[in-house]
Structure 1
Amino acid sequence: MKKLLCLLLIAVCSIFTSRASTGYDTLTICQGQSILVNGVVIDQAGQYNITFQPGDSLVIYTVNVSTPFVSLGEDLIVCERTLTPIIPKGSDGYYTWSNGSVANSIFAGVSGIYSVTVTDAFGCTADDSVSITIMQNPNPVIEGIVQPICYGSSDVVLTGLPAGGEMYGDLLNGNLFLASQAPVGFYNIYYSYTDSFGCSATVNAYIQVANCNQIETNLQTLPIIVTTESILLPGEAAFTIYQIDGRIAETGITKDAIIQLINLQPGMYIVELYLKNKQTRHTITIRK
């Protein structure tokens, strides 16, 4: 009788049979998390057959576990004025950085701990951090330079500090300036130094070889104009700026008749100029 009824009423046959219906579903959970489905705790990937009442309907769940991954690599020590990108490696997703950025990568501008969290399409997260230390570049100097060196003088030993760098430039033999072979003129000397962190810097100085019998030394021969930012000269000149205690604050050769003062602190300075066999000395005061 039941079979006949099913043949006549196919549309509602399931109502009169005891056979359970079967459904399928796919779930994704995050690593380390769990969900509760009809009293069953699901915390691992796999297939789960769960029966629901009433009707003994069966749902077969395929469960996946999402495990996003992100790595910022090893801690870094970098040199100042170095553009340092932090590029994460790992899963696709939405990135949130400790500095508030939501870009896929950032640049480290200061020393510190940088961290990132990646969120995947299922809302699962992973995070990592990296320490960035920005080291100050060395400040090399060249010692032993006197201005001017008289034409025909003995060779001059120069010293680059900190020790261990490389000195190069005009008429140099190692760190020996060959003054005995130098015609009258200006000579550029360079000293490059790299510290134990790989940070490097180069200092440039000059040496003037002059016919000392023709040099005129006085206090105010050359007209100069001093502003808070520069010294304007009547032409190209070599110069040395001394602090009041005798230490060199700046030295160089100006090719545009302007000596920039923006790097000097307020105070009194002595400026020595060498222009066309004339040496002049000026006292200036910087007020800002």
Structure 2
Amino acid sequence: MCVDGGTSIVLDAGVQPNTPSFLWDNLTTSQVRAVNTSGTYNVKVTNSFTCVGSDTVNVLLRKNPVVHLGNDTTVCNGVVLTLNPGGGSIEYFWNTGQTGQTIDVNSAGSYSVFVTNAEGCISMDTIQVMMQGELPSIQGIQVANNGDRQFHFTAVYPQNVIGYDWDFGDGSLHSYAASPTHVYDSVGDFIVVLHLSSTCGFANDTIGAHIVGIHQLNISNNELTVYPNPSNGQATILNKGDLKMEKIEIYNILGQVVYRSKADSKDKHVVNLTNIASGVYTIEVYTDKGTVARKLEILK
């Protein structure tokens, strides 16, 4: 007999005439007895005329497999949901015709699975999957360096977004604005994480420390300048101060590196971005004393 784990079955000696008394092998004296383990059980019945009868029964209890697909659920349209009833069994049969332990579903419906374990016991479970709404998405994070450790962040082309949660990576309070400005108390390396929410789900995006985590120097344009600006893609970085230029990196509005090079010299570097689309780019000039940020507009 297959039973769920912890389930007892009832052994019944039956209704007997003439004021019977019952005596089971465990010395209990009721007509019925609950057992939850396999074994041999016997009972002796004595009536008021001292007539005695007895019976023995062999009980073999096998445990049903534990099957749990979870509660009925609603997910976003387009989301692939993996259904798993749990392991430890040898056969699975889904109402979709599949026979693996897990299946992936991406449409609403009722999904059932029949599970057979090594003892030949079968259990089943059903889950209702409903789909509603769309996942939030963005194409990236745009960051603008305003100087003095102040940065402005914008989600690029947000879709299906009803909530923003910005973590600036410095332990400060989160911002829930769509396009916040944040001032860092000190220089350092920080990872900015944006958590998005929609009516049916959540998504995350990050921007690397190479944008926020720069040790900015307040250097005037007279000391370090980029020309011509706007440019057609070719520009010169000229250092007139006492800094020593070491490396040049240029980022697009999504924070992606579009140019990286060792400085031509400590005083001058020529960049060629003629293969880059028009737009506003951030130049990071790494020097022996820190980094200097400049904006470069490319017009074609």
TM-score where L is the length of structure 1: 0.42
Q: Which has the larger radius of gyration?
A: 1
